[in-house]
Amino acid sequence: MSVIVAPSVLSADFGNLQRDVEMLNNSEAEWIHIDIMDGSYVPNISFGFPVLKAIRKHTKKVCDVHLMVVQPERYFQEFRDAGADVITIHHEAVTHLDSAIHQIKATGAKAGVALNPSTPVSVLKEVIHLLDLVLVMSVNPGFGGQKFISNSVQKVRDANELIHSTGSSALIEVDGGIGTNNAKQLIEAGANVLVAGNAVFGSDDPMLTIQQIKNAAE
């Protein structure tokens, strides 16, 4: 059972971003996870369109854009034009979730919805058939390098159950505090995509760490 690894460039060296993206290009990571934080939905500010465009210029990998932004509908087309392949929004950040998902899909991007640690999977019941991705947050959003919240493993099982019982084809992505120590249990619970920031970019051998996360359940 293999998983897609999505290294989060939030933990990359921004002074050497091209070098770090080229390292990912040579690695077994299929996706690159790009965290957009607006200082309002979450307490932190990360980066915006110019950085996404710069990453896009140097990679053919799937650009997986995670919007921690209030009223993200304002920016879907702009993120798509800047290179997003997948656009994920937070359940709490939009007033009309069904409409927002349709708006993402209208740009041609895949659509995901993220669930904070305190948000149950059941909020997705009425929209699960529309989704390409369910993002289970395994830390409170806002910062890299936080401790994994262990309840997230059950949340992945719950998401898996909802997806299978409804015939949805959504992938399950898990984000926050993931590394070689906990990848196996998440894959076994049903995760398809694992985000890793600190574990990859804080490693002495990032390409090896990516490979170890990818093959953690074998």
Positions that interact with ligand DX5 (CB under 6 A): 8, 10-11, 33, 35, 66, 139, 141-146, 175-178, 195-199
Say if residues 75 and 43 touch (Cβ distance below 8 Å): no
Picking from 107, 115, 113, the residue whose alpha carbon sits closest to that of residue 131 is: 113
Q: Report, in Å, the least distance between residue 167 CB and ligand DX5.
A: 28
Site string for Zn ion, 24-53 (x = CB under 5 A): -----------x------------------
State CA 25 to chain mean position distance: 18
Q: Name which of 121 and 200 has its Cβ closer to ligand DX5.
A: 200
The set of catalytic residues is 35, 175
Say if residues 80 and 101 touch (Cβ distance below 8 Å): no
Q: Name which of 39 and 108 has its Cβ closer to ligand DX5.
A: 39
**DSSP reduced 3-state for 64:** strand
Residue 56 contact, options Zn ion, ligand DX5, none, Cβ 5-8 Å cut-off depending on partner type: none
Stretch near Zn ion under the rule CB under 5 A, chosen from 100-108, 148-156, 164-172, 174-182: 174-182
Question: What's the CA gap between 29 and 66, in Å, rounded?
Answer: 17
- Binding of Zn ion by 175 (CB under 5 A): yes
Residue 142 contact, options ligand DX5, Zn ion, none, Cβ 5-8 Å cut-off depending on partner type: ligand DX5
Say if residues 65 and 52 touch (Cβ distance below 8 Å): yes
Say if residues 130 and 98 touch (Cβ distance below 8 Å): yes
Q: Kindly state the helix (H) or strand (E) to which residue 178 belongs, with its residue range.
A: none
Q: Report, in Å, the least distance between residue 132 CB and Zn ion.
A: 16
Question: What's the CA gap between 45 and 186, in Å, rounded?
Answer: 28
Distances (CA, A) of 12 to 132, 174, 200: 27, 19, 9
- Binding of Zn ion by 173 (CB under 5 A): no
Q: Which residue is nearest to Zn ion (CB)?
A: 66
Q: Name which of 59 and 116 has its Cβ closer to ligand DX5.
A: 116
Total number of residues that touch Zn ion (CB under 5 A): 3
Which of 56, 61, 66, 90 binds Zn ion (CB under 5 A)? It is 66
Binding site for Zn ion (CB under 5 A): 35, 66, 175
